[in-house]
Amino acid sequence: MTGSNCVLVDGEVKSLRMSATQDGQSTLVHSLATLLRNNGEFVLDGSSTLTLQVTCLQHLTHLFEQYLISRTHQHGFLALPSHPADTTSLLQVQFLFDMLQKTISLKLVHPPGARLQSIVKIFPFKSLKHLELKRVPPHCLEGLRGVYSQLEVFICSKSLNTLEELLLLCGGDLSTALPWLELHTLNFSYNFISSLDESLSLLNPLCELEHLNLAYNNLRRAPEFGLNTRARLVTLVLRHNELESINGVEHLSSLQCLDLAYNLLMEHTQLAPLSLLHNLNMLTLEGNPLYFQKTHRNSTVRHLSPQAAFRGLQLDGSTLSSTELAVLPKPRQLIHQMSQTHQVAMAPEQTAQDMSSGGGELSDSLSIIESGGTRVYRRKSKVRLQKPKTSHLLTITAHYTACS
């Protein structure tokens, strides 16, 4: 029985033909050891990703368990003897184990066809910061609990039915996983996720998540996040889902890039939550039913935050024109509207001293009191209002431009 395994280092693909015999394993070890001796510096500094087929890693972990370590000592960095007393082949196995312990970026791939059923162990990888899985069912993955707290980038495609399988249960480890302390990029696109559990909202408060990609799933609503993630998230990609509403995105105060292409958004009134995204600089709505309306761009602009729109926001890949921006109030008009809104909303018991701290302009204040179902309008005396600060209208010079 023969199979094919690929190792990719810095864009270079090597095919490793191997069999289940000892000679086949020896060929695998020799070929991979040679490849890493020639390109190992790129793997060790994280500039290149080491890509292995699942069967290749399974053979390697079998050799490690057979010749180097016991199955009960697979946690933590392991220092091996510098001069093993056995053959050259064993020396190569030791070299490979040492390299895998220091590998920073790993991609595991199971080829199309039969679904993977056997266990895949990643215990040799002690230094991982970037992990990518393709067609690896979560219940088959063991060893994630040893590295999840240090992962910065986690990508998983064509494997998942729920977020909980990896984010809360750590795959086949079935252990509680909350402190994803270093995670800043999570890409679970091209999966089979139809509903969202509490995994994202339960991420550890110290989580650094900034970029989330859930494209090409079957989601019907936008994800919910914990308070810390709401304040940090910069990029949210939800293209090619089944969204009929985007309620909830208004809480993402730092969001700069929002990709909602190819969903089921029918009317522009459904875009109302966008008015609170003051840092947004890229919005994609292509492929939604509303996108094909003749007034699509103008209708969309009416629901944008003026602060974001006037800073050069791109809608469906094009910067808003002056004609499109004309439907929005100018920054000075916006300040005036904010001032008027503030005046009407003031409670009647507030005093002039409560409302003013320094110089301002004199303005009438109209308060509304409800008594017994009857509204009584009472015009108050002249009060001094503080001018709203306009520092939040300053241009942001650094933009995140890649959505996918």
Decide if 137 contacts 116 (C-beta within 8 A). Answer: yes
Q: How many domains does the chain have?
A: 2
- Give the mean model confidence (pLDDT) for residues 3-27: 48
Say if 270 falls within a structural domain: yes
Q: What is the predicted pLDDT for the residue at 374?
A: 44
Residues 6+ apart with CB under 8 A from 317: 284, 286
| Residues 313, 342 share a domain | no
pLDDT > 60? residue 402: no
CA distance 21 to 242: 49
Q: What is the predicted pLDDT for the residue at 127?
A: 94
316: closest CA among 387, 254, 255, 261?
A: 261
- Which DSSP letter does residue 317 get? T
227: closest CA among 255, 205, 257, 196?
A: 205
Q: What percent of the chain has pLDDT over 90?
A: 52
- Give the mean model confidence (pLDDT) for residues 306-312: 94
Tokens encoding 355: 């409302």
Decide if 72 contacts 66 (C-beta within 8 A). Answer: no
Say if 298 falls within a structural domain: yes
| Residues 287, 372 share a domain | no
Higher pLDDT, 244 or 172: 244
| Residues 379, 365 share a domain | yes
Higher pLDDT, 250 or 179: 250
Maximum average pLDDT range among 78-87, 261-270, 380-389? 261-270
Q: What is the predicted pLDDT for the residue at 234?
A: 97
- Residue-number span of the structural domain to which 308 is assigned: 215-328
Say if 100 falls within a structural domain: no
| Residues 279, 307 share a domain | yes
| Residues 227, 246 share a domain | yes
| Residues 335, 324 share a domain | no
| Residues 261, 348 share a domain | no
| Residues 267, 340 share a domain | no
Q: What is the predicted pLDDT for the residue at 308?
A: 96
pLDDT > 60? residue 357: no
Q: What is the predicted pLDDT for the residue at 383?
A: 43
Say if 95 falls within a structural domain: no
Residues 6+ apart with CB under 8 A from 8: 14, 49, 50, 51, 107
| Residues 252, 232 share a domain | yes
| Residues 238, 322 share a domain | yes
pLDDT > 90? residue 25: no
Q: What is the predicted pLDDT for the residue at 333?
A: 55
CA distance 194 to 163: 10
CA distance 138 to 214: 17
Higher pLDDT, 239 or 351: 239
Q: What is the predicted pLDDT for the residue at 10?
A: 45
Q: What is the predicted pLDDT for the residue at 180?
A: 83
Say if 54 falls within a structural domain: no
CA distance 363 to 358: 15
Backbone torsion region of residue 60, taken as left when φ is above 0, otherwise alpha when ψ lies between -120 and 50, otherwise beta: alpha
- Give the mean model confidence (pLDDT) for residues 274-279: 97
- Which DSSP letter does residue 363 get? E
Torsion 17-139-102-50 (CA) sign: positive
Q: What is the predicted pLDDT for the residue at 253?
A: 95
3 state SS of 27? helix
Backbone torsion region of residue 291, taken as left when φ is above 0, otherwise alpha when ψ lies between -120 and 50, otherwise beta: alpha
User: Which has the minimum average pLDDT: 19-28, 76-85, 166-175?
Assistant: 76-85
Quickly count: other Cβ atoms within 10 Å of residue 247's Cβ: 13
Quickly count: other Cβ atoms within 10 Å of residue 283's Cβ: 26
User: Which has the minimum average pLDDT: 181-190, 307-316, 335-344, 358-367?
Assistant: 358-367
Confidence of residue 109 (pLDDT cuts 50, 70, 90): very high
| Residue 259 backbone dihedrals phi, psi, to 5 degrees | -110, 110
Higher pLDDT, 360 or 172: 172
pLDDT > 90? residue 205: no
pLDDT > 70? residue 54: yes
pLDDT > 80? residue 256: yes
Which own/partner contact pairs does 161-166 have at CB distance under 8 Å and 24+ positions apart? 161/191, 161/192, 161/193, 161/194, 162/193, 162/195, 162/197, 162/199, 163/188, 163/193, 163/196, 163/197, 163/199, 163/200, 164/197, 164/198, 164/199, 165/138, 165/139, 166/138
| Residues 312, 280 share a domain | yes
Say if 249 falls within a structural domain: yes
Q: Of 280, 295, 328, which residue constitutes the final position of a domain?
A: 328
Q: What is the 3-state secondary structure (H, E, C) of 91-156?
A: HHHHHHHHHHHHCCEEEEECCCCCCCCCCEECCCCCCCCEEEEECCCHHHEECHHHCHHHCCEEEE
CATH number for the domain including 277? 3.80.10.10
Say if 365 falls within a structural domain: yes
Q: What is the predicted pLDDT for the residue at 353?
A: 44
pLDDT, one tens digit per residue, over 116-168 is 989 999 999 999 999 999 999 999 999 998 998 899 999 999 999 998 888 88
Confidence of residue 196 (pLDDT cuts 50, 70, 90): confident
Q: What is the predicted pLDDT for the residue at 329?
A: 78
| Residues 322, 222 share a domain | yes
- Provide the mean pLDDT of the chain: 78
Higher pLDDT, 275 or 362: 275
Q: Of 311, 328, 345, which residue constitutes the final position of a domain?
A: 328
Q: What is the predicted pLDDT for the residue at 60?
A: 93
- Which DSSP letter does residue 375 get? E
| Helix (H) or strand (E) run with residue 366 in it | strand 366-371
Q: Of 328, 352, 370, which residue constitutes the final position of a domain?
A: 328
The model carries a pTM of 0.75
Say if 268 falls within a structural domain: yes
pLDDT, one tens digit per residue, over 279-291 is 999 999 999 999 9
Q: What is the predicted pLDDT for the residue at 86?
A: 61
Q: What is the dihedral of CA 390, 394, 399, 404, to 10 degrees?
A: 30
Confidence of residue 331 (pLDDT cuts 50, 70, 90): low
Question: DSSP per residue over 62-87, as a string?
Answer: HHHHHHT--TT--SS--PPPSS-SS-
